[in-house]
A and B are shown apart, each in its own frame.
Chain A
Amino acid sequence: MSLTGTHEVFASIDEQALNDILRAFFNARPRYRHYGSPAFVPATTVNETAIPAIAFPGVPGGIDWRIRFSTPVIDLFEQTQPLLPGLVLQPGQFSLHTDIELCVNCVSRKDTRSDVANARASRPNRPDHVTCTKLGVFGIGHLDVWNNPGGDGAVRLRLDSVELVDIKPDSLETVLECVIRMILDGILSSIVLPLKALRAGAFELIVSEGPEIEHNHIQAFGNV
């Protein structure tokens, strides 16, 4: 069976190559894995992205927090990586695994009268008492693709669901899964990989079918 089938051009990238590209992305731009509010990350740099503190009445400056995750490992259907029992990898989907470190700056207010005298010596923009937790995260997602008749196009990974490891009670797990899914999906959706890069610049390709996940690859068909 030919690679091109009924089309003129075929292009594919296997899951290991896709993971290599993601690793290259996160190595070059670590800030897409490291986020923190001002107590942790005063300003956005190549290494870290500054995000606002969580505003809450009565908490001066808000709740400072930080989230970091390891470079995700993608498994394109068919499944070759372990998954949590609650997740099933269906045709056209990918799975994702990453480790997340979630930290908060656990401060005690120092605005009683006896504390006021020492206020000038405090360093409000520095973490006071950092408390962290690490979570293993598994997720399932799909490709978000676009292309045009000019041959331009791109792929994004979109996350549909996540499962966390060993969180009790279940309601807390559900809440955290929702928050982490939104965060990870927001991060992944900002990574737009051009189709030209996914085929290492080979040939012209005006896509007529795909890109789609098939047999551990992302593949596309089209014409010159």
Chain B
Amino acid sequence: MSKILAAIDEGGANTLLADAIASIPTLSSSGSASLGPFSAGYSVHGHFASGGVDLIAPSTVRIQHLRFVWQMTLSFGIDLNDFLPHFCLPRVCVDIPCVGRVCTPKICLSWPTIGVSVPFGDFVEASADFGIDVSLSAGQWSVQIAVQNLSQLQFGPATAGILFLIGAAITPLLLFIPFIGPFLAGAVDIILASIGIAGLTGFLGPILSPFLAGLKVPVYQQDKHFKVLPSSGPVDPDVFIELDAVSAQIQHSDEDELVLSVDISP
């Protein structure tokens, strides 16, 4: 069997995977979710930063402190009708001599919906165990590591201040409402305080965890019809070999190594 072997130790894998993870394009998603009594639309985007790599035989790559640095914009619509009673001016009729009976229409006041967009960002990190996937698709060999197990998400320190940012964005708008503004602002602050960190991470977790849980990091990608030498003129065409089989595993000896094995033929 015709073999090409390539091996990389944990130190090299740290560099290799840090570069590979950093080259993953920005990921994004959007949707809506409930934050306490509020329904909020969100759009989130972010990128990954690698952590410490631990190679575990026979086929696990563990990355500790795998970090997803994210930016999110929350869009709240606070419908004041949910908080305040409906207020209607009743119909009033007056008898006017020589004119007759004149009535005013019934007038109901609808409270406005206050829209607020709150941008903020932080990071979330976890320890992730990746499995090794080797595939041949559309004439290309691909070796990538894909998340199989993810530890509990750990949010960055800025996450704790997000409720404050939301309150700070909403309160000034509510204070503009005559008479009841301060009351409303106080009510919203109380609601936000009741949501607390647990409620916030419960809101952010389902939004952010799919990014980490679905992470795949490319380790090796080459055409099966592999170009050894490019053409250097009309009488010197490209030179190709065939990569017949590719395998990858973690080998343990006096150190742990990611070993790639490639069978070739002319």
Contacts and interface: CB of A to CB of B under 8 A. Distances in A.
A224 to B, nearest CB: 4
Interface string B234-264: 1111111101000000010111010110101
A1 B12 CA distance: 17
Given A1-B253, A4-B12, A13-B4, A28 B237 contact: yes
Interface residues of A, number: 40
Contacts of B229: 25, 193-194, 197
B222 A201 contact: yes
B258 to A, nearest CB: 9
Report whether over half of chain A's contact residues are helix, strand or loop; otherwise say mixed: mixed
B8 A9 contact: yes
Contacts of B251: 2-3
B137 interface: no
A202 B260 contact: yes
Contacts of A27: 266
Nearest to A8: B12
B16 interface: yes
A200 B228 CA distance: 8
Interface residues of B, number: 39
B183 interface: no
Report whether over half of chain B's contact residues are helix, strand or loop; otherwise say mixed: strand
Contacts, number: 131
A201 B260 CA distance: 11
A3 B259 contact: yes
Interface in B173-200: none
A31 interface: yes
Nearest to A221: B7
Contacts of B9: 2, 4, 7-9
A3 B5 contact: yes
A46 B226 CA distance: 20
A4 B266 contact: no
Given A4-B9, A4-B257, A8-B15, A200 B239 contact: no
Given A25-B229, A46-B235, 7 more contacts: A8-B9, A12-B5, A14-B3, A17-B4, A17-B264, A44-B235, A200-B264
**Closest 6 interchain pairs by CB?**
A8-B12, A202-B6, A17-B2, A3-B7, A24-B266, A23-B266
Interface of A: 1-4, 7-14, 16-17, 19-21, 23-25, 27-29, 31, 44-46, 193-194, 197-205, 223-224
